[in-house]
């Protein structure tokens, strides 16, 4: 995963049930459970290997599958969080 600005990630406030609110733009987003966990870990500054390991363990998926999904998720974050 290519790095994403940690300060920008922290502009997303996570609510209940996967709701995320961008305090900078006022936009709201809905995250699935894996996206919510990934975002929380990224907001904590966790490195890629930790994010992949946690997601793979929590959702019983192969790390290679998780790594590809995490990369796509970060790409979406970059797209929606300019």
0.75 exceeded by pTM: yes
Q: Which helix (H) or strand (E) holds 13?
A: strand 12-14
Instruction: Tell me what the pLDDT averaged over the chain comes to.
Output: 93
Question: What are the respective helix, strand and coil percentages of the chain, to the nearest 5?
Answer: 60, 10, 30
Rounded to an integer, what is the distance from CA 43 to the centroid of its chain? 8
Q: Which helix (H) or strand (E) holds 56?
A: helix 48-59
pLDDT at 9 over 80: yes
């Amino acid at each position: 995963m290519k790095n994403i600005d940690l300060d920008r990630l922290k502009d997303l406030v996570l609510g209940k049930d996967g709701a995320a609110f961008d305090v900078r733009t006022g936009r709201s987003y809905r995250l699935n459970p894996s996206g919510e966990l990934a975002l929380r870990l990224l907001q904590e500054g966790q490195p890629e290997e930790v994010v992949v390991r946690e997601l793979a363990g929590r959702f019983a998926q192969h790390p290679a599958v998780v790594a590809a999904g995490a990369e796509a998720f970060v790409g979406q974050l970059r797209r929606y969080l300019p």
